[in-house]
Structure 1
Amino acid sequence: MYYIVSELLLGLIYYIPAFVANGSGPLVKNGTPIDFRRNFVDGRRILGDGKTFEGLLMAITYGTTVGVALSFFFGYPWILISFGEALGAMVGDMIGAFIKRRLNIPRGGRALGLDQLDFVLGSTLFGILTGLRVSLIQFLFVALIAFLAHVVSNAIAFRLKIKSVPW
């Protein structure tokens, strides 16, 4: 039992750079949209105003900075891994935004599952490419925690009038 709990908690630690990146990008309120306000062939925005160069830079910087701290505990590759996770989290988030625009879901609109897991999938892929070693059980646990944390934190933000919608 102790082994399983420690593996699950270690999995959460592995994903700290991705969670930090995912949470810090939206702190930029105004910026230059990554899609330069251009539309895709379907006439809809490619990504939307919520995906900016400034937010991307902030997310990658914060996520990688966490990797510097993790490198003290796990060794040098964590700086590279955290950069990969942070970048992957943002690429996953942008792919999610791209899919939502194709489905005609507006910015801030609800896409259950996609909203909560796009960054986890992206960070896992890029993390593995940069040296992350995560088990399936760790990945599934982190995905579950990300899903629940997203739902709960957005509901709280809505009740505190920080967000206009509870998702």
Structure 2
Amino acid sequence: MQALFLLTLANGTPVIVKRIFGSRMAFPLDAGVQFLDGQPLFGSSKTVRGVVSSIAVTAGLAPLLGVSVVAGSLAAALAMVGDLFSSFVKRRFRLRPSTQAIGLDQIPESLLPLLACQTMLSLTFTDIPVCVGIFVAGELIISRLLYRLHVRDQPF
């Protein structure tokens, strides 16, 4: 359960921060750099603010979940790496930022932190795919709910 809360914090914080701050301090992580295919490296929706806020909030709240700051930081950092990987792949397929790609949008950002934090979170090899599955389903449901509540710009 701690693992799912960490994943939710890590991946949800940038969404909430964007809602609070809008475009203020939203510097693109890729600084507008294009890859060899002429497409953005990650896209404008991946910001320094999003990554920093994810790591800071998840690390800061991790002790409230009975998890170390180190585990919270690592989980958030790797969730962001997974999210950036997904964006990188989507740009290679010429998909617009915030386009839905079920599985690609959820699996890397949940699987990477779970694998890296397996020992720190006392996860078994069975727990990991179960948590990924719950995260995928939960993220799809929560994203649509946040869209209806006008917290997200897209329902996915």
Query: 1:80: how far off?
Result: 1.1
> Which of 89, 108, 111 is 1:99 aligned to?
89
Residues 89 and 118 in structure 1, CA contact (< 8 A), matched pair in contact too: yes
Give distance in 2, aligned partners of 1:35 and 1:165: 22
Where in structure 1 are there 5+ consecutive unaligned residues?
Answer: 1-11
What TM-score does the superposition give when structure 1 sets the normalisation length? 0.79
Give distance in 2, aligned partners of 1:80 and 1:39: 33
Give distance in 1, aligned partners of 2:4 and 2:61: 10
Is residue 2:115 matched to residue 1:120? no
Change (3 A) 1:17 1:159: closer
Change (3 A) 1:115 1:83: same
Query: 1:40: how far off?
Result: 0.4
Give distance in 1, aligned partners of 2:83 and 2:64: 24
For 1:85-108, what per-residue CA distance to the aligned partner results, in whole angstroms no more than 9, with x for missing partners?
A: 011111111111111111111111
Match of 1:58 in 2: 53
Give distance in 1, aligned partners of 2:105 and 2:96: 12
Give distance in 2, aligned partners of 1:87 and 1:18: 10
> Which of 87, 94, 109 is 2:99 aligned to?
109
Residues 16 and 66 in structure 1, CA contact (< 8 A), matched pair in contact too: no
Instruction: Please report the RMSD computed on the Cα atoms of aligned residues, expressed in angstroms.
Output: 2.0
Where in structure 2 are there 5+ consecutive unaligned residues?
Answer: none
> Which of 55, 58, 79 is 1:89 aligned to?
79
* Structure in which a larger fraction of residues adopt helix: 1
Percent sequence identity over aligned pairs: 25
2:51 counterpart letter in structure 1: L
Residues 21 and 63 in structure 1, CA contact (< 8 A), matched pair in contact too: yes
What SS does structure 2 have at the residue aligned with 1:115? coil
